[in-house]
Amino acid sequence: MSAVTGGKPAMRAAIVTAGCRLNQAESDALSAWLRLQGFTVVREPAEADVCYVNTCTVTAAADRSSLQLVRRAAGRDGTRVVVMGCLAERRPERLREIPGVSEVWSAREKRRATGLVPVPVRSRPLLKVQDGCDRGCAFCVVSRVRGAPVSVDPDRVAHAVADLVSAGHCEVVLTGLNLGRYHHGATRLAGLLARLLCVPGSFRLRLGSLEPDSIDDRLVEALADERICPHFHLALQSADDRLLTAMNRRYGFAAFRRLVGRLVRDRTDACIGADVISGLPGESPESAGLTHERLAELPLAYLHAFTYSVRPGTPAAQMPGRVPAHEASARTARLRRLSTEFGRRYASRFPGSVRDAVVESDRVVVTDNYLRVRLCEPTAIAARRNCRVRIESMTASVSAPLAALVGLCQEENQ
């Protein structure tokens, strides 16, 4: 693992990231580590002496996108290229074959440079508190790449949150590969949230994706706290119990429906989203129809619908009943239309209401319940500040209601 060129510090470094929020959090931490090594981190790879490419391998499309990013970076004369991430762990030999690639980091090397470092580079900074998964879902290759679950010491997480709040951030997003499996000593996720909410300052916490079977009664109670954003993304994958069993998921749809009901009962304004896979081998037209029908009855705000992608080495890759690509894509498109309906229905509840929000730009804020709102007039309030907005009306884009700025929140972190 090297951060130098010919023994001299490479003064400018760029980071290119593919994939999920967890990858983004790791790239943010890498940025902080590079600065500690004396680098200037630049936005454009063309301006860098070293370009770090953080790859993804969740689907075949993610593989292609990652390889494209690596080739683009490696094609620049005079730029060292360091490749890391899930594809680098799964296919290091493939990446080393690309002309211009200088180093391919293992997961261990990546962890040394992407430890828990508060990184105030986003208006809503990402903080990785957990990694790894032992659930063994039939379709998933990422858990096999990232290894067994590991969690960050809650005191370290609390210090990181305190540093971010002191830097003026009003919202921190907690991330992990299987965040609900956070477990350090006697502390589980509910205990971590309780610890973090004792940090001084005016801020709120937002949680990344959660596995439904990881949400126990204590965590449901913890999520009822108003300082936890009422936005819960649940990795459902299917509403057909037969397919859930085939995927090696550890719950049925009835349990998922009860969980959604409990979350909505405790947080009536909750924005609840769900991951859904279309076209898993063995998914019949009847299975796809059942999933659509059952989802349509739930109080969801959006779906993250995606088409199954064969991942070599996973049990699903050997399952019979392969769904033709055009049919799987059609099922995904239908779910995405349902997601649009969910978004319209959810956003239509809020015109006339006043919400807390984080400023992302002079015209865009993100509310506590995950509405990306376009301001009627531009604001001079700095990004990351906490403000209050009044939702005025819907627009043609259901994801961008119009809102008027009411003002800054009473308590502001200095």
- pLDDT tens digits for range 183-206: 999 999 999 999 999 999 999 999
- pLDDT tens digits for range 311-325: 999 999 999 999 999
Res. 250: pLDDT tops 60: yes
Q: Name the burial class of residue 133, with classes exposed (0-12), middle (13-18) and buried (19+) by CB atoms within 10 angstroms of its CB.
A: buried
Percent of the chain topping pLDDT 90: 76
Averaged pLDDT of the chain: 91
Domains and CATH numbers, the chain: 9-112 (3.40.50.12160), 119-347 (3.80.30.20), 354-408 (2.40.50)
Q: Which residues pair with 278 in a beta bridge?
A: 307
Reported as a pLDDT band with limits 50, 70 and 90, residue 32 is confident
Structure tokens at 220: 């449901």
Say what the pLDDT of residue 395 is: 59
- pLDDT tens digits for range 97-107: 999 999 999 98
Say what the pLDDT of residue 113 is: 81
Dmax (CA) of the chain: 62
pTM above 0.95, yes or no: no
Span 1-8, mean pLDDT? 49
* Residue burial 65-87, b: 16+ Cβ < 10 Å; e: rest: bbbebbeebbeeeebbbbbbbbb
* Lowest-confidence pick of 106-115, 335-344, 368-377: 106-115
Span 135-155, mean pLDDT? 94
Say what the pLDDT of residue 6 is: 47
Separation of alpha carbons 408 and 144, rounded Å: 45
Q: Which residues pair with 104 in a beta bridge?
A: 83
